[in-house]
C-alpha cells in the first residue's frame, strides 16, 4: 500500500521525520486497540523490527510515546525526546482511544518504510528491449535482493543485469528468524492468518520492486517471468503454503520441488512466477540456486559452498557427491540479535579496519551509518580479539564504541572522527560466539563425513549477504573458518540471485537446477555427538 493510500485509510494519523534522529508519528484514534507496532505499520508505513516475534523478550522494538495527544504536529520538532515521553515496547503497547505520539529512533528500530526508496544499482541499462526482461528475486529472511535482467546470448551466462534492488523483507517485523515466522504463520487476526498476511507482504514487496523498475525502464519490464529463490521457509511463505511442519521434528517441508504459478495466483503483477526447488527443510532453493550458479556439480576438486545467513548452510562437493548440512547459527550474521545490528542494507557498517589505534569504516552504498551488518561485526570482533579487548572466553571489559574515519567505496574520506553510532556489547560477542561455533563445528563435521580434512579442500565459496563483504582473514581470527581454509575463501556474493538469474535466462537451467536439488544429500547435525563436542570447543576464541 502506498503512503497516499495509508493516509486515506487512517486520515487521523501522520508521520514525519524529525531532524534529531527520530521519526515521529501521530497515531490517531482510528488505530485504538492496535499494538503500537501494528499502528505504526498500518497508519504510517513504519516497519518496526520485532526480532523476538513480538514476544516482549528482546526489547529491540522499544519506542518512545507521548500520551494525551500532542499539538506539535505539523512542524516544530523538539530538539530531543520531549519530557514526559515514556519508553515502551511497540510489540506490546496498545494504542489508547485518544491515540498517541510515537518517537521511533531512526537508527535502530526503524526497519524500512513500506514505500521506501531502495538502493538501485544501474549496471548496463542501455540497448535493451524491456519486453525481454525478467525479474530474479532472492527472498532472504532479512533482505530481499532482486535484479532486473535481459536475456542476452552474447553473454556466457545468457543474461545481462540491467539494475538491482535491495530492500528489507517486510515479514521481518514478525520475527528475525524462520522459527518466529513459522510461529507467526499459525496466528490469525482480522480475519486472516499470519501465513496469508506474510504471503501478501512479500507479494507486495515484489510488486513494489516491479513498479520501481517499470517506472524507470518502461511499463513492459518483467511482464513475463519472475523467478524466486529463498530458503525453504521463505519459499513456503512466498507460495502461501504452511511451513508449520518445518517448525517441529522431523522438520518436513510441504514441498521442495520447483513450482510454476500464474502471476494472478500469486498476486504478482507478471505472467509467470517460477519458484525454484529446495533440497530439504534446511537446504533451500537459495542454496540449490547458489550451488548451481557456482557449478559445484561440474569438474573435479573439492569445493565447500557456505551460505552464512540466518542459518549456516554448507554443501561439500567432492568426487561427484554433494553432501550438505545446516547449522542453526542464529541470525547474528544478518545483524539480528546484535544490539546495533542490521542487514546488509544501505548504511550498514560493512567493513572496519584498524591502524595504529585508529578505526576506519565503510558502509553499504556509502549511506549514513545506521547499524552494523555481519561482515562489519566480524571485522570489529577480529580487531578486538587481536588487541586483547575480547579475551579467549569472549569476555569484554566494556562496550566498544566505533568512532573513526568513514571512507567511501572509492576510498575517499567521507568524514573524519565520525561517530558511527555502532557499539559492540558483551551480549553481542556472546551471540557471535554461538554463531561462529555452530558454523565451524558444522563445517568440520561435514568434511569428516566425506573423510576430508580442511587442508584437502580446494576452495571455499562464501555466499550470502556476508559473502559480498567478508574479510576471510578476520573470519579466521574470529574462528569461523580454520586458518587454512581462510586462505582459500572466494567470496561469491549473492549466489542465490545468480542462480535465479540463470533460471530466468533459460528453462533448461531451471530444469537442471531441479536435478541439482535432487543430488544434494543433506544430513542433520542434531544427533551427532561430535558436532556438540566441536561446538563447545569452538565457542572460545583462539
Ligand atoms: S520485545 Fe518487542 S519485538 Fe522483542
List pLDDT tens digits, range 27-36. Answer: 888 888 889 9
In a domain? residue 475: no
- Is 175 inside a domain boundary? yes
In a domain, 474, yes or no: no
CA of 51 to the centre of ligand 1 (A): 6
User: Of 454, 312, 432, which is closest to residue 383 (Cα–Cα)?
Assistant: 432
Are 134 and 259 in a shared domain?
Answer: yes
Quote the mean pLDDT of the chain: 85
Does the pLDDT value for residue 50 go beyond 70?
Answer: yes
| pLDDT score at 325 | 96
In a domain, 537, yes or no: no
Q: What confidence score (pLDDT) does residue 173 get?
A: 87
User: Do 214 and 135 reside in the same domain of the chain?
Assistant: yes
Q: What is the full DSSP assignment across 282-312?
A: SS-HHHHHHHHHTTTTSSSS-EEEEEESSSE
How many structural domains comprise the chain?
Answer: 2
In this predicted structure, the answer to whether residue 534 has a pLDDT above a threshold of 60 is: yes
Give the pLDDT score at 391.
95
- Which of 47-51, 59-63, 124-128 has the least mean pLDDT? 124-128
pLDDT classification of 103: cutoffs 50, 70, 90: confident
Same domain? 40 vs 166: no
CA distance 486 to 479: 10
Q: Which residue has the higher pLDDT, 284 or 54?
A: 284
Q: Concatenated DSSP letters for 160-204?
A: EEEEEEEEE-GGGGG-SSHHHHHHHHT-EETTEEHHHHHHHHHHH
Cα of 90 vs centre of ligand 1, distance in Å, is: 7
**Whether 82 and 134 share a structural domain:** no
Note whether residue 44 is domain-resident: yes
Q: What is the pLDDT of residues 183-210, one digit of tens each?
A: 999 998 888 999 999 999 999 999 999 9
Q: How far is the CA of 61 from the centre of ligand 1 (A)?
A: 5
Q: Is residue 52 in contact with ligand 1, taking CB distance under 6 Å?
A: yes
Residue 297 to residue 136: CA distance in whole angstroms = 22
Report whether pLDDT(469) > 80. no
- For residue 232, the enclosing domain spans 130-275
> For 37, phi and psi rounded to 5 degrees?
-60, -45
Pocket test for ligand 1, best of 35, 38, 91, 181 (most atoms within 8 A of CB): 91
Q: Clarify whether residues 135 and 267 are in a common domain.
A: yes
Q: Same structural domain for residues 90 and 163?
A: no
> In this structure, are 65 and 166 located in the same domain?
no
**Rounded to whole angstroms, how far apart are CA atoms 294 and 72?**
56
C-alpha cell at 452: 576430508
498 contacts 161 by C-beta, under 8 angstroms? no
Q: 394 pLDDT exceeds 70?
A: yes
- The reported pTM is 0.76
Say if ligand 1 is within 6 A of residue 436 CB.
Answer: no
Gap from CA of 58 to ligand 1 centroid (Å): 5
Tell me, yes or no, whether 136 and 86 share the same domain.
no
Query: Do 142 and 270 fall within a single domain?
Result: yes
Q: 401 pLDDT band (50/70/90 cuts)?
A: very high
Written as one string, the DSSP assignment of 18-58 is ETTTEEEEEE-GGGTTSBHHHHIIIII-EEEP-TTSSSS-S
Q: Is residue 434 part of a domain?
A: no
Domain boundary among 275, 292, 315: 275
Do 73 and 164 sit in the same domain of this protein? no
**Cell numbers for 313:** 548452510
SS3 category, 280: coil
- On whether both 154 and 255 belong to a single domain, the answer is yes
Q: 14 C-alpha vs ligand 1 centroid, how far in Å?
A: 23
Helix, strand, coil shares of the chain, percent, nearest 5, are: 35, 30, 40
CATH of the domain at 200: 3.30.420.480
| Ligand 1 pocket: which of 35, 47, 50 to mutate (most atoms within 8 A of CB) | 50
Q: Residue 405 belongs to what H/E stretch?
A: strand 400-407
Query: Is 190 a member of any domain?
Result: yes
**Do the beta carbons of residue 351 and residue 375 sit within 8 Å?**
yes
Closest ligand 1 atom to 56 CA: 1
50 pocket-lining for ligand 1 (C-beta < 6 Å): yes
How far apart are the C-alpha atoms of 201 and 207, rounded to whole Å?
Answer: 10
Domain presence at residue 314: no
Amino acid at each position: 500500500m502506498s503512503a497516499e493510500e495509508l493516509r486515506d485509510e487512517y486520515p487521523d494519523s501522520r508521520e514525519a521525520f524529525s531532524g534529531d534522529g527520530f521519526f515521529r508519528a501521530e497515531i490517531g484514534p482510528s488505530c485504538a486497540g492496535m499494538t503500537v507496532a501494528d499502528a505504526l505499520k498500518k497508519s504510517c508505513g513504519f516497519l518496526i523490527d520485532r526480532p523476538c516475534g513480538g514476544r516482549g523478550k528482546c526489547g529491540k522494538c522499544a519506542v518512545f510515546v507521548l500520551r494525551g495527544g500532542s499539538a506539535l504536529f505539523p512542524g516544530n520538532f523538539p530538539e530531543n525526546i520531549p519530557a514526559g515521553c515514556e519508553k515502551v515496547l511497540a510489540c506490546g503497547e496498545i494504542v489508547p482511544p485518544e491515540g498517541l505520539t510515537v518517537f521511533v529512533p531512526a537508527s535502530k528500530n526503524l526497519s524500512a518504510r513500506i514505500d521506501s526508496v531502495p538502493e538501485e544499482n544501474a549496471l548496463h541499462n542501455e540497448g535493451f528491449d524491456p519486453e525481454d526482461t525478467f525479474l530474479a528475486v532472492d527472498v532472504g529472511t532479512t533482505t530481499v535482493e532482486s535484479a532486473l535482467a535481459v536475456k542476452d546470448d552474447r553473454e556466457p551466462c545468457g543474461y545481462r543485469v540491467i539494475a538491482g534492488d535491495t530492500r528489507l523483507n517486510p515479514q521481518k517485523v514478525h520475527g528475525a528468524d524462520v522459527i518466529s515466522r513459522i510461529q507467526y504463520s499459525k496466528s490469525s487476526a482480522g480475519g486472516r492468518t499470519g501465513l496469508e498476511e506474510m504471503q501478501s507482504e512479500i507479494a507486495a514487496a515484489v510488486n513494489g520492486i516491479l513498479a520501481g523498475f517499470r517506472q524507470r525502464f518502461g511499463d513492459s519490464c518483467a511482464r513475463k517471468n519472475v523467478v524466486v529463490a529463498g530458503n525453504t521457509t521463505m519459499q513456503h511463505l512466498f507460495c502461501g503454503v504452511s511451513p508449520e511442519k518445518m517448525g517441529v521434528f522431523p522438520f518436513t517441508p510441504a514441498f521442495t520441488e520447483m513450482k510454476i504459478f500464474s502471476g494472478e495466483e500469486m498476486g504478482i503483477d507478471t505472467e509467470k512466477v517460477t519458484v525454484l526447488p529446495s533440497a530439504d527443510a534446511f537446504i533451500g532453493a537459495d542454496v540449490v540456486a547458489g550451488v548451481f550458479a557456482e557449478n559445484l556439480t561440474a569438474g573435479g576438486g573439492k569445493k565447500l559452498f557456505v551460505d552464512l545467513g540466518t542459518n549456516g548452510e554448507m554443501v561439500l562437493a567432492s568426487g561427484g557427491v554433494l553432501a550438505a548440512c545446516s547449522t542453526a547459527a542464529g541470525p547474528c550474521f544478518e545483524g539480528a540479535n546484535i544490539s546495533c545490528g542490521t542487514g546488509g542494507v544501505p548504511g550498514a557498517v560493512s567493513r572496519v579496519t584498524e591502524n595504529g589505534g585508529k578505526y576506519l569504516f565503510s558502509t553499504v552504498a556509502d549511506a549514513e551509518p545506521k547499524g552494523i551488518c555481519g561482515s562489519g561485526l566480524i571485522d570489529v570482533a577480529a580487531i578486538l580479539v587481536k588487541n586483547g579487548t575480547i579475551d579467549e572466553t569472549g569476555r569484554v571489559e566494556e562496550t566498544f564504541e566505533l568512532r573513526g574515519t568513514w571512507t567511501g567505496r572509492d576510498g575517499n574520506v567521507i568524514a573524519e572522527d565520525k561517530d558511527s553510532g555502532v557499539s559492540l556489547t558483551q551480549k553481542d560477542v556472546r551471540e557471535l560466539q554461538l554463531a561462529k561455533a555452530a558454523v565451524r563445528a558444522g563445517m568440520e563435521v561435514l568434511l569428516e563425513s566425506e573423510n576430508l580434512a580442511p587442508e584437502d579442500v580446494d576452495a571455499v565459496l562464501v555466499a550470502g549477504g556476508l559473502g559480498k563483504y567478508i574479510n576471510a582473514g578476520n573470519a579466521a581470527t574470529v574462528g569461523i573458518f580454520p586458518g587454512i581454509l581462510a586462505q582459500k575463501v572466494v567470496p561469491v556474493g549473492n549466489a542465490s540471485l545468480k542462480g535465479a538469474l540463470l533460471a530466468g535466462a533459460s528453462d533448461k537451467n531451471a530444469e537442471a537446477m531441479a536435478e541439482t536439488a535432487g543430488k544434494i544429500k543433506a544430513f542433520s547435525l542434531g544427533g551427532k555427538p561430535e558436532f556438540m563436542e566441536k561446538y563447545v570447543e569452538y565457542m572460545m576464541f583462539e
